[in-house]
Every structure is written in C-alpha cells, then in structure tokens.
C-alpha cells in the first residue's frame, strides 16, 4: 500500500518542479537513508554543471530551502556522479560517507537528472525500490513532456506558454519584494521574443505546404542550435515562435535575438534559398498578465514588419521613442470589486 500511495503522490502533479519535490519527499519516507539530493543536469561532462532542485534529510525532517541557483557539486561526489552520467549505471561510493548515485534518463535516452542517496549501509532492496520508482518518474515526465510539445517541431507548444510566463512573473514579484540591501543570487531579467517568418504565405503558395513545414522544422532546429539549452522555445502558431531568455540587460537581450535573426538569414534553405524573420522583444516584468507580455512583444513585432522586416525591435525602446503606445500597468496592492 505504501508503494501505491507513493505512486499516487508522485503522479498527481503535472508541473515538473512539483513532481521532483514530491518524488524526493516520498522516497525519503520509504527508503532508509540519511539524506537525498536531486540534481538536474545543466551541462554534461567534461564540464559538469548540476542544479540542486531538492534536498531532504529524513531523520531530521529538514528540507533545504533552495533558490534555484547552480551550486558546485562537492568534490567527493564529482567523480562518482561523472561515472554515473557517463555509464548510465547506478554507482555506489563507499568512502567516508557512503552514497548511491542513480542516473535518471529522459525520453531520448540521455541523462536528465541524478539522485544522490546518502546511506548508513547499502541495501539491495532499497536500491531496487528507488530504481523502480525513478523509472516510473522518468516515464511519467516523458508523457507530460510529449503532451507539452508541438507535433511538427517538437518545441514547447502554445498551451504551456501562459503558465511559463505567469511563473516567471510570480518569481520576479516575490524577489522584487526583497529588502534593498539583500543581495540577490540571480539579477538577470527574463526577455520574451516573438519571432515571425517573413513572407511565409509566399513560401507556402509558391513551393507548397510540405516545403513550408520543412522551413518551420529547420527554423526550429536553428533556434535550438543558436540559443542556450536553458532558453525556452515555443511554437506559438503558424509561422510564429516565442523564445524566453534570461540576461542582465536590454542590450544583451537584443544581441541574442539579433544573432538568432542573422543565423536564420544566413542559412541556405533547400529549394527555398533565403528566409528571414522579424522579431519583437519585451522584458517580462510587472505587466498585468501573460496576455499583456505577448501583446507588447506583438506590438514590437508589428513595428518590425512595418519598417522593412528582417529586424529586431524592442518594445521598451519603441515606447521611449514614441513609436509605440505603451500599455498601462495596473498598480499592485489593491483589489477592486464590481
């Protein structure tokens, strides 16, 4: 019954962060261990980079307060974690503090995370239980991931976009309320870019929809290759895409999207030749909601289309220059009842 309850707990969520916390919490209750750490893979070896997403010390009933920042992996664990990542097999480290390291596969056969289980003694039954639950967890994540992907390009689909923007706005609001003298670990801002392939209808009309689909797939692949792994890319609909990046300044955000624009422009598309894209970008800040964020990016995109296409326009700059009408941002802290 305890295993069934565990499965029910892990699979009742659809948000990855909640699933991960639920997994670690329930594992801590059913296996004999001193501590559990779940690391998400940011960069694979040789330059290993992991994100500590949850940490539980069952016997002391302490759950670590994590802030989403990358932390260095302790030296004594590095070699064992790298071995687990490279081999894809469970690794047992019997040094000063015994631990078992479980690599967790994604739906493409790569490694998406590692679970580190600190123990008093290595138990085969606990290993088998943990390994089985991690396989179920990985399969469940794969099902959720598939439901959130566009069928043609395999990018994130539009249905996931609003939730992503809302989560980022909430995170910004919470950190924005911190005391001014409290040093933030991550001072970056998030920027949303709305990208539209120029004259896409002409491509479909002259070459056919199969070639149009090929252009969409190639543009999606170019975005994956140009942007960082942690950047989020969505198929917004038709020939439109949305990209969300984090970067410290407006200038750097513009440079990222300008590099993406040039990459598309300079790529030879079979049977088509030259393809260009227009991009409107906006900072995800204290707008009224996701619809306003996308709407402001769309205003910048509309200006790019009307001033020659194949260019990047920044909403905040256009408002400052009087080229675009700004959206009124409602004040926070009051509630109006009608």
Q: Which residues are catalytic?
A: 239
| Contact between 220 and 154 (Cβ < 8 Å) | yes
- Length of the chain, in residues: 338
Give the dihedral sign, CA 10/11/16/17.
negative
Rounded to whole angstroms, the Cα distance separating 103 from 117 reads 11
> Before 46, cis peptide (omega within 30)?
yes
Euclidean distance between CA atoms 79 and 148, whole angstroms = 35
Please provide the DSSP assignment of 36-68 as one string: EEEEEEEE-TTS-EEEEEEEEEGGGTEE----S
Contact 280, 289 (CB under 8 A): no
Count of C-beta atoms within a 10 Å radius of residue 302 = 17
Taking the alpha carbons of 230, 235, 236, 241 in that order, is the dihedral positive or negative? Answer: positive
**By three-state DSSP, how is residue 238 classified?**
coil
Strand order in the sheet with 240-247: 232-237, 240-247, 189-197, 277-284, 312-314
Question: Rounded to whole angstroms, how far apart are CA atoms 46 and 18?
Answer: 30
Indicate the angle between helix axes 16-30 and 2-10, nearest 10 degrees: 160
Count of other CB atoms within 10 angstroms of residue 86: 14
* CA distance linking residue 243 with residue 234, whole number of Å: 6
Which run of H or of E encompasses 324?
none
From 314, 291, 40, 42, select the one nearest 161 (Cα to Cα). 291
């Amino acid at each position: 019954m305890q295993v069934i309850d565990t499965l029910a707990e892990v699979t009742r969520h659809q948000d990855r962060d909640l699933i991960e916390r639920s997994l670690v919490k329930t594992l801590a209750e059913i296996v004999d261990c001193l501590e559990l750490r779940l690391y998400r893979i940011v960069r694979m070896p040789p330059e290993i980079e992991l994100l500590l997403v949850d940490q539980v010390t069952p016997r002391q009933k302490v759950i670590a307060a994590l802030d989403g920042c990358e932390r260095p992996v302790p030296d004594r664990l590095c070699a064992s974690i790298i071995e687990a990542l490279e081999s894809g097999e469970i690794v047992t480290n019997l040094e000063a503090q015994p631990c078992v390291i479980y690599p967790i596969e994604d739906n493409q056969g790569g490694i998406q995370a590692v679970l580190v289980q600190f123990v008093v003694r290595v138990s085969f039954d606990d290993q088998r239980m943990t390994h089985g639950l991690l396989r179920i967890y990985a399969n469940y994540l794969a099902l959720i991931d598939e439901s959130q992907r566009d069928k043609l390009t395999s990018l994130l689909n539009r249905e996931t976009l609003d939730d992503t923007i809302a989560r980022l706005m909430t995170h910004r609001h919470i950190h924005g309320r911190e005391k001014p003298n409290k040093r933030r670990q991550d001072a970056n801002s998030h920027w949303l870019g709305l990208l539209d392939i120029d004259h896409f209808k002409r491509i479909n009309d002259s070459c056919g929809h199969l070639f149009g689909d090929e252009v969409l797939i190639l543009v999606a692949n170019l975005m994956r290759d140009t942007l960082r792994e942690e950047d989020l890319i969505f198929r917004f609909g038709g020939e439109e895409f949305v990209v969300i990046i984090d970067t410290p300044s407006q200038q750097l955000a513009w440079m990222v999207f300008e590099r993406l624009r040039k990459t598309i422009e300079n790529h030879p598309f079979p049977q088509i030749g030259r393809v260009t894209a227009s991009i409107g970008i906006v900072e995800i800040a204290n707008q009224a909601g996701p619809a306003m964020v996308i709407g402001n990016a769309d205003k910048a995109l509309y200006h790019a289309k009307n001033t020659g296409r194949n260019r990047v326009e920044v909403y905040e700059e256009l408002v400052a220059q009087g080229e675009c009408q700004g959206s009124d941002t409602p004040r926070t802290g009051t509630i109006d009842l009608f």
